Chains A and B, each alone.
Chain A
C-alpha cells in the first residue's frame, strides 16, 4: 500500500502545475475561449513542448511510456485550471484507442502528430438514444470492397469542431443494442459526406454534432476487430472515466480553495463570514467530500491497470459515483457560500460548478454506475 508519487511523478506534477500557473489564470482562459475552436494553439504547443502530450505512449512510439498515475496528475492539473485544450479526447481517449487497439501502421500514422501537438482528435460515440450504453449504436459501417461506408449521426463530439481525425464507433452488423458487431473507425474530419454543427458546450468547451452520409474510409481506418470492438471501447472509456475523476478532483480542490478564500475575505454584519459556524460546517463537509473523492480517484486510476475487466469496471464505476456525488455537493455549496457573487459569470467559481456538473454525467451518471456496481458482486 503506497499513496506516494515517485520522484519522476513529482517532477511531472511540478512541471504541469508550473506551466498552468503561469499561463492559465481566469483572464487568460477567457482569451483562449475566444480563439478559433475555443482553445489556444499556443498552450497546446507548450503542452507538447514539455512532453505532456506524449506521456502515455510507449517510448518506441515516441512517447514517455508512463502510466495511469501520470495521466491522473495531468488531469488533476487540468481540472484545477479548467483547461479548455482537448487533452482528454486527443491523448487519453483517441490515444488510448491507438495504444490498445491500433496497428503499427496506425500508430506510425497518428501518434507522432499527437505527440508533437500538430493534430488533435475527437471521439464520436454518443447518439440520440444511446445515453450511457456504449453498445447502443445505430451508426452503421457497411463493408464495401476492402473499405467501409459509414452512415449515422453522433452528438456532442467534444473537440469535434477542431479535430483533424475522428474516432467513430459504428455498427458493422446486428441490431441497435447488440453487444457484438461493433467497430471503431478512424475518420478524417474532412472526409466527403461528413458534416458538422459546431457549438460551445454549457461548461465552456466546444463540440460538434457530426453527420456521416455515405462516408467512405479504407481498410486502414479500422481500429482492432471491426465486428468485436466493445471490450476495447469499454477499456478506453474506463480510462477516460478515471481521467475525468482526476479532473473533477482538481476542480473540486480548487473550488474549495476559492470558497475558503472568499469566506476569509468577505465581511457582513461587521465580521468575516467565515466566522459563522453554519458556513464553516458546510465548508468542512466540502472537505470531507473532497477527501472521499480523492481516495476514489486514486482507486479508479489504479483500477485501469486491472487484468480482469469485471474488476476494473466495478471499481471505476464506484469511483465515478463517488466523484459525481462529491462534485455535486462541492459545486453547489461553493455557489451557495459565495452568495450572489457566485451566480455571476464574472466570478471563477461558477465555471467550476458548471464543469463539475458536466463531468458528473460524462460517460455515465451516478444512477447508471450505481446499477453497474450493484450488479457486480461485493465491493467491500
Chain B
C-alpha cells in the first residue's frame, strides 16, 4: 500500500500544468474562475489546442487516438484541467458517444465520427431523457420506425445540454413498441440539421440557457446511423453511463472552488475580521475539505479497483462518488455564497460587464442555484442510493 503518487505521476502532473500555463487563454480562465459562461467558439478553440497536443481523447484506445495513459494519469489530467481551470473535453463526444462508437459501431462509423469528435468538428449532445422518462429512463417513448433505408423519428427529448451548439445528437429510440421496457430500444446517431428537428431552450433558475427540449417531427435518418444491433440500445446506454467514472466526483472542480473561497474569504469581512477567520465559517469549510480529501482517495480506490476487474460496466461503488461529489460541490457553492453575504442579491439583471467586481459577484448566487442540478443529473442521488442498496448491499 502506498497512497503517494509515483515520481512518474508527479512529473506527469507538472508536464500537464506547464502545458496549461502555456496554452490556456487568460480571458477564458478568468471567465471560468468567475463562473461566466464561455462561448462555443472559445471552448472549441481550446479543445482543438488540446487535440493538436494529442490529449483530447486521451482515454481512448491508441488506435483511435488515445495516449495510452494509465487511469491514474487520466485522472491527474482531468483534475489539473478542473483546478487550473480550463474546460475538460466535451463529455458527450469524448467520454460518451466516442467509446460507444469504437466499441459497438462499425468500421465506417469509427472512421467517420471518431476523428471528428477528437477535433470537435462535431459537437455532440445526448438524447436520453424525455418528459415522461427521467430517472425511469427505460419508459422512453420517442419512436424510430424503419422505412426502407431510413428511420423516421417522432417524439421529444429534454434536458438536452447545449443542444443549441450541437451538430449531432445520439438518441435512444424505441424501435420495437411491442417489446418489454428495456428491450426494443435502439441507439441512433442523428444530424441536428435534419429536417423536422426543433430545439427549444429552457431557462434554468440561475438565468442561464444550458438545457433544451429537442422535438423530432418525422425526422429521417439513414439506417447506417444505427449503432450496433437494432433493439440492443439499452445495453449500449448502460455501457455509456459506465464510461464517465474518472471524473464523476469532480474533485478538481471542488478543489479549485475551495481555493477560491479562501481567496475571497480573506477579503470579505464579517464583524470586523475576514470571514475566513470566523470560527463557524471555518468549521464548515474545513469539514468540507476533509470530506473532499476522503472523496479523492475513494475516487482513486475505485479507479484502482476498476483497473483490476474491468467489466466496462458501471462499478456500483462509483455511486458513492456521485453522491459525495455532488454534495461537496453544492456545499462549496453555498460557502462562496456565504462569503459575499448580503451582496449575494445584487446584480441580477443587466450589469456593466466591464466592471469586473460586479461581474464576479453577479455569478455567485447563480452558481449556487445552478449547482442544485448536480444531485439530480447523471442519475439522481436517490437513484444512486437505490443502486448501492441493490447492487452493493443486496437489498
A interface residue numbers (CB < 8 A to B): 1-6, 9, 69, 256, 260, 263-264, 274-275, 277, 280-281, 283-285, 287-288, 291-296, 298-299, 301-302, 318, 321-322, 370, 373-374, 378-380
**B residues in contact with A6, CB < 8 Å:** 1
- Mark each residue of chain B from 301 to 316: 1 if its CB lies under 8 Å from any CB of chain A, else 0: 1001100000000000
A292 touches B304 (CB 8 A): no
* A73 CB, min distance to chain B CBs, angstroms: 10
What are 19 A-B pairs at a CB distance below 8 A? A1-B2, A1-B5, A2-B3, A3-B300, A5-B1, A9-B1, A287-B320, A288-B323, A288-B324, A292-B291, A293-B294, A294-B301, A295-B294, A296-B293, A298-B1, A318-B293, A321-B287, A378-B259, A380-B289
* B85 CB, min distance to chain A CBs, angstroms: 15
**B residues in contact with A379, CB < 8 Å:** 286, 289-290, 292-293
Residue of A nearest to B294 (CB): A292
A1 touches B385 (CB 8 A): no
Among A1, A69, A292, A380, point to the contact of B4 (Cβ < 8 A). A1
Residue of B nearest to A292 (CB): B294
Q: Does B273 contact A (CB under 8 A)?
A: no
Among B5, B297, B305, B390, point to the contact of A299 (Cβ < 8 A). B297
A285 touches B297 (CB 8 A): no
Q: Does B178 contact A (CB under 8 A)?
A: no
**Given A264-B395, A373-B289, A380-B296, 6 extra CB contacts under 8 A:** A1-B5, A274-B395, A280-B393, A293-B294, A295-B301, A296-B297
Contact residue range for chain B?
Answer: 35 or more
**4 shortest A-B CB distances, which residue pairs?**
A295-B297, A280-B389, A284-B385, A284-B388
**A residues in contact with B204, CB < 8 Å:** none
A2 touches B282 (CB 8 A): no
Among A3, A293, A321, A378, point to the contact of B1 (Cβ < 8 A). A3
**A residues in contact with B393, CB < 8 Å:** 256, 260, 280, 283-284, 287
Among A281, A293, A299, A321, point to the contact of B3 (Cβ < 8 A). A299
Q: Does B386 contact A (CB under 8 A)?
A: yes
- CB contacts between A and B, total, < 8 Å: 135
The CA of A354 and the CA of B385, in the complex, are separated in Å by 27
The CA of A274 and the CA of B390, in the complex, are separated in Å by 10
**B residues in contact with A263, CB < 8 Å:** 395
**A residues in contact with B262, CB < 8 Å:** 378
Among B283, B293, B323, point to the contact of A370 (Cβ < 8 A). B283
* B359 CB, min distance to chain A CBs, angstroms: 26
Q: Does B382 contact A (CB under 8 A)?
A: yes
Residue of A nearest to B322 (CB): A288
A1 touches B300 (CB 8 A): yes
Q: Does B56 contact A (CB under 8 A)?
A: no
* B356 CB, min distance to chain A CBs, angstroms: 25
* B212 CB, min distance to chain A CBs, angstroms: 31
**A residues in contact with B182, CB < 8 Å:** none
* A72 CB, min distance to chain B CBs, angstroms: 9
A302 touches B2 (CB 8 A): yes
B289 touches A264 (CB 8 A): no
Residue of A nearest to B384 (CB): A284
Among A264, A288, A293, A302, point to the contact of B394 (Cβ < 8 A). A264
**A residues in contact with B394, CB < 8 Å:** 260, 264
